[in-house]
Amino acid sequence: AHEDTGLQSQPPPEEQNYGATAARVRQGPFVSVSVKGPAKREYLIAAVLCYANLINFMDWFIVPGILLDIQNYFKLKDGDIGLLQTVFILCYMLAAPVFGYLGDRYNRKIILGAGIFFWSGVTLGSSFISELYYWIFFLSRGLVGIGTASFSTIAPTIIADLFEEGKRTTMLSIFYIFIPVGSGLGYVLAAGMADVTDDWHWAFRITPCLGGLALVLLILLVPHRTQRRTAAHRALSISGTIRVAAEKPGVHRTAKTTWCQDVISLAKNCSFIWSSLGLTAMAFVTGALGTWVPVFLYRAQVVQGIVPPCLRESCDSSNSLIFGGITIGTGILGVIAGAEAARRLRKINNKADPLICAASMFISSLCLYVALMVAQTNILSTFIFIAFGELFLSVNWAVVTDILLYVVTPRRQSTAIALQILVSHLLGDAGSPYLIGAISHAIQDKNVHSFQWSFWSMQYSFIVCAFVGVCGGGFFLLTSFYIEEDRKEAER
């Protein structure tokens, strides 16, 4: 059972409305326990988790980086190639609640290590699949999604337990920077290996080696058991001293709850529900862009006469390289900007986090819509507006997770993250790559086959992303109506 010691301390005035630091708890007899800042070992553990997160998302976005090559190799249509990423996401999201349940109850290091070993091995095996067995390739991507879910569900909770409130936001921001950085490097790795070796299969043989290194570091540097802190510990240790109450009946213990009880409690948490739907809109847009933007840019360049049509197995991958670079740069800037804006604005507005997310979603949707409209006439402007769209999407990564961590009690956080992954991917990027591809394919079927209609079909289908992005901004606005009350409830 989780022990919830009664704690009391008064945080500094400037921190009272910051994240979870406004916690109020019962009074009782106290014993002072000094609290030191994070040790070097804790930063080292966080560094290992950040590196593993980098490899995680590199592997995730290898397929979009060489999508044209895979499409030509297996002779797949737009709808089929969109389904490839959908299979990955479906398995990822269905496995997430299982790992969330296990992560709240069993050894997290063992689960992380098993997940990294599993997806690394499957990725390596998928590089040897013949064009006659495309269904095995689809299956392998689904299995990789299962292994990936173990890490994405559990790693943020370990970081949350390693660091106190102020440093927690910073470390989570660094952790989530590696989502866009890893995604961009996935494009760059895939396109680079395809160019160097003239064989796209080699792209799937690099990340397993990097994953093996991550597994070794995890085994050597991450302790077998990591301490789980209560909300009160996180809130009060910021003042430098924790006063631990003597055990009294009804004060020092929190009974175990079942998974169903956890889910029912989370379903009543309006901030968690609305912010999860906002994250779902983010995932929808990110999944569609990540899968189809290089193909969309290629078709725009063909229409403009900038590049010739690709009719062979190995296609020009410059768009993937450029888009990968854009993803890395805008991801780093976006996550840092979002964390810094949240840190500053929280001091003057308790609703700053969801309002930042809402504003960034609205601006991102506008930028993406403009990018679609100028694509046929000016490819440079298209790159610029896509970059701004990705920049404002990236603002939200760390902020959304921080919202979850202070509106959900610690003993339910792995379950909450797992359910958020399930919902955001089920309604988000699990279906968006396939939906965009299916709409594009349907438009092409109803018109004369040409490079012009090939471009228009993708352009029209992408407008769905701008609409979903606006809906996501609305969901974050709704979150702001409930966040103060839900934060106080989690602290109690």
Residue 22 lies in a domain: no
- For residues 22-44, average pLDDT: 53
* Residue 197 CB partners (closer than 8 Å, separation 6+): none
Residue spans of beta strands (DSSP E) within 81-130 = none
Which pLDDT value is given to residue 278?
Answer: 96
Closest to 335 measured CA to CA, from 178, 440, 483, 135: 178
Point out which residues pair with 243 in neighbouring strands.
32
Closest to 332 measured CA to CA, from 187, 186, 178, 167: 178
Look up the pTM and report it.
Answer: 0.72
Q: Residue 210 burial (CB < 10 Å; 0-12/13-18/19+)?
A: middle
- For residues 217-227, average pLDDT: 76
Residue 273 lies in a domain: yes
pLDDT in tens, 115-135: 899 989 999 998 888 887 888
pLDDT in tens, 295-344: 899 889 988 888 887 766 566 678 888 888 898 899 889 988 998 898 88
Residues 197 and 276 in one domain: no
Residue 42 lies in a domain: yes
Which pLDDT value is given to residue 162?
Answer: 85
Residues 484 and 405 in one domain: yes
Residues 220 and 274 in one domain: no
We report the CATH number of the domain holding residue 360 as 1.20.1250.20
Closest to 227 measured CA to CA, from 41, 416, 98: 41
Residues 297 and 188 in one domain: no
Q: Is the dihedral of CA 28, 29, 33, 34 positive or negative?
A: positive
Residues 216 and 357 in one domain: no
Indicate the pLDDT class of residue 215, thresholds 50, 70 and 90.
very high
Residues 466 and 386 in one domain: yes
**Domain closes at, from 178, 212, 229:** 229
- For residues 26-45, average pLDDT: 58
Residue 103 lies in a domain: yes
* Residue numbers of the domain that contains 336: 258-491
Residues 295 and 167 in one domain: no
Domain total for the chain? 2
C-alpha distances in angstroms, 33 versus 226, 363, 473? 19, 47, 44
Residue 236 lies in a domain: no
Contact 473, 269 (CB under 8 A): no
Residues 329 and 448 in one domain: yes
CA–CA separation, 365 vs 467, rounded Å? 7
Q: Which helix (H) or strand (E) holds 322?
A: helix 318-345
Residue 287 lies in a domain: yes
pLDDT in tens, 437-465: 889 988 988 887 788 888 999 999 999 99
pLDDT higher than 60, residue 158: yes
Residue 385 lies in a domain: yes
Residues 216 and 276 in one domain: no
Q: Classify 181 as helix, strand or coil.
A: helix
pLDDT higher than 50, residue 235: no
Residue predicted with more confidence, 372 or 132? 372
Residue 7 lies in a domain: no
Residues 315 and 220 in one domain: no
Residues 430 and 304 in one domain: yes
Residues 270 and 190 in one domain: no
